[in-house]
């Protein structure tokens, strides 16, 4: 299983009147996000909001499915 580093704070953003935000340049460079790229927005109720490049979303789902299976296996034992 691929290892994921701990989350990193890249800065703060301000939401404009039309609900738009600017993604900080450092994170755009780190994730190679370009104008016109499609991002998936996800959130947990009262939890964090996340963005995932659409082309990496299936990898994210596979990873989370494996993590959930391990969690269930541990807690149902």
Instruction: List all residues 6 or more positions away from 30 whose beta carbon is below 8 Å from its beta carbon.
Output: 10
pLDDT digits (tens, 9 = 90+) for 20-61: 999 999 989 988 899 999 999 988 888 888 888 888 888 888
What local confidence, expressed as pLDDT, does residue 1 receive?
40
Tracing tokens 């927005």 back to the chain, one arrives at: 41
DSSP 5: P
Identify which has the larger pLDDT, 22 or 73.
22
**How many residues does the structure list for the chain?**
77
Cα–Cα distance list, 64 to 2, 31, 33, 51 (Å): 11, 19, 22, 15
- Which is more confidently placed, 75 or 43? 43
What residue segments make up the domains of the chain, in order of their start? 38-75
Note the pTM of the prediction, 2 decimals.
Answer: 0.60
């Amino acid at each position: 299983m691929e290892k994921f580093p701990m989350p990193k704070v890249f800065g703060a953003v301000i939401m404009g009147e039309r609900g738009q935000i600017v993604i900080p340049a450092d994170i755009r460079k780190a994730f190679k996000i370009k104008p016109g790229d499609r991002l998936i927005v996800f959130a947990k109720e009262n939890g964090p909001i996340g963005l995932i490049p659409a082309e990496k979303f299936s990898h994210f789902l596979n990873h989370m499915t494996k993590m959930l299976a391990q969690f269930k296996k541990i807690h149902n034992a």
